[in-house]
Amino acid sequence: MNHIDLKGRNAIITGGARGIGLACAKRFISSGATVMLWDIDASALQAAKAELGAGALTSLVDISNDTAVTAATLASLEAFASQDSASTRIDILINNAGITGPNVKAWDYPPADFRKVVELDLIAPFVVSRAVVPHMIEAGYGRIVNIASVAGKEGNPNAAAYSAAKAGLIGLTKSLGKELAALAGGNILCNCVTPAAAETDIFKQMSAEHIAFMKSKIPMNRFVQVDEIAAMVAWLASSDCSFSTGGVFDISGGRATY
């Protein structure tokens, strides 16, 4: 494993108790960061904390609730300060939490399910970013990495809500990156990654046919590993990434055509 220097950095990872979020947490802690895991699953948070040990903090948060997000942001700042009185900052935000929704044709998609996917995969990252960014501006430093998807670039059949929400997240990344570019001496960056499918708990929300379809589209003929995504995210979350913002970083095993 290459060393990424995140020593002394404080990171919030939404959906941090499992999958890509947990892999990022492991990578960040091994690189010297203190990590706050936000998740809605209390038992998963407890298990993640036990696995990660020192360097991991946890908070039970419903990121679809604006008030809860604001409260959790302030609580995270206090928790970071309790670890180190000189570290009342949020240096890194990873917007990772999300769902896939049902695998059905767009014209058969239940509107309530469509709204839920958009709420968690697009609106929630906006709400979380809206809560965290002012603190980054005040501190004069920040790295935001949004976990989008190759589905947001290409559109997956039978996944209209997920594809649309992830496309929106890419657009949000570009807008926020441009808005922040001239602030704090260019020290607050916002980028996203667009991975192909990874074998995580999110597969439980998909049909076997849809999983097979996604694999068939990957020239490398395998799913991406969460550690591979975490490695890319770790660089984007570091100070070594200094002149890339509003960017879309592909990790799709050759699937992406742009």
Give the catalytic positions in this structure: 162
Enter the DSSP assignment of 16: T
Sheet of 188-195, strand order:
56-60, 34-39, 10-14, 92-95, 142-147, 188-195, 248-251
Contacts of 143 (CB under 8 A, 6+ apart): 91, 92, 93, 188, 189, 236, 237, 238, 241
3-state secondary structure string across 76-122:
HHHHHHHHCCCCCCCCEEEECCCCCCCCCCHHHCCHHHHHHHHHHHH
Decide: 1 and 30 in contact? Cβ < 8 Å.
yes
What is the C-alpha to C-alpha distance for residues 241 and 7, in angstroms, rounded to an integer? 15
Positive or negative, the Cα torsion across 174, 179, 182, 183? negative
Q: For 61, left (φ over 0), alpha (ψ -120 to 50), or beta? A: beta
Q: How far apart are CA 106 and CA 114, in angstroms?
A: 9
Is 53 in a helix, a strand, or coil? coil
Q: Which residue has the tokens 């942001």?
A: 73
Closest by alpha carbon to 121, among 144, 97, 104? 97
Helix (H) or strand (E) holding 35: strand 34-39
